[in-house]
């Protein structure tokens, strides 16, 4: 199952927000228990509950960070890699949807699609690093 389909399946669950769905799609690769992912991403849905950065974006970027992020203060190479992947993610998501801001996107009532697209972009970027 693609990460896009998996994220959409998580999002279809009752009371799972967009950030939780996007992050949970990568639990296996990130070595993160689903319960922990659900807790971490709880407050990020709905654009951090203020219609700011889309939860599909923040959840996907959390996954990138968990897989490629900085492990300690001296891990500068990983910090740069995760930063570069985040920038690329944002560019691709904006190209696809015009924004990464929830209030600009949510009015179109396409949250499931946003979650799927965010996970797909993150999956592509992660695979490109292998």
pLDDT score of 114 more than 80: yes
Evaluate if pTM is beyond 0.85: yes
Q: How many CB atoms lie within 10 A of CB 124?
A: 14
Cα 92 versus chain centre, distance = 13
Cα 97 versus chain centre, distance = 15
Of 62, 56, 75, 76, residue with least CA distance to 30: 62
Give tens-digit pLDDT for 58-108: 999 999 999 999 999 999 999 999 999 999 999 999 999 999 999 999 766
| pLDDT confidence tier of residue 109, bands split at 50, 70 and 90 | confident
CA distance 24 to 59: 8
Domain regions of the chain by residue span: 3-128
Q: Are 101 and 54 in contact (CB under 8 A)?
A: yes
Tokens of 18: 């967009």
């Amino acid at each position: 199952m693609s990460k896009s389909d998996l994220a959409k399946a998580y999002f279809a669950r009752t009371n799972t927000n967009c950030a939780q769905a996007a992050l949970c799609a990568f639990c296996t690769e990130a070595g993160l228990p689903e319960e922990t992912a659900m807790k971490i991403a709880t407050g990020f849905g709905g654009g951090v509950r203020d219609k700011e950065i889309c939860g599909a974006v923040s959840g996907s970027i959390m996954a990138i960070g968990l897989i490629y992020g900085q492990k300690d203060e001296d891990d500068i190479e990983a910090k740069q890699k995760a930063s570069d992947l985040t920038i690329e993610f944002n560019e691709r998501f904006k190209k696809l949807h015009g924004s990464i801001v929830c209030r600009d996107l949510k009015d179109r009532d396409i949250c499931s699609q946003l979650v799927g697209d965010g996970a797909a972009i993150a999956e592509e970027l992660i695979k490109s690093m292998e």
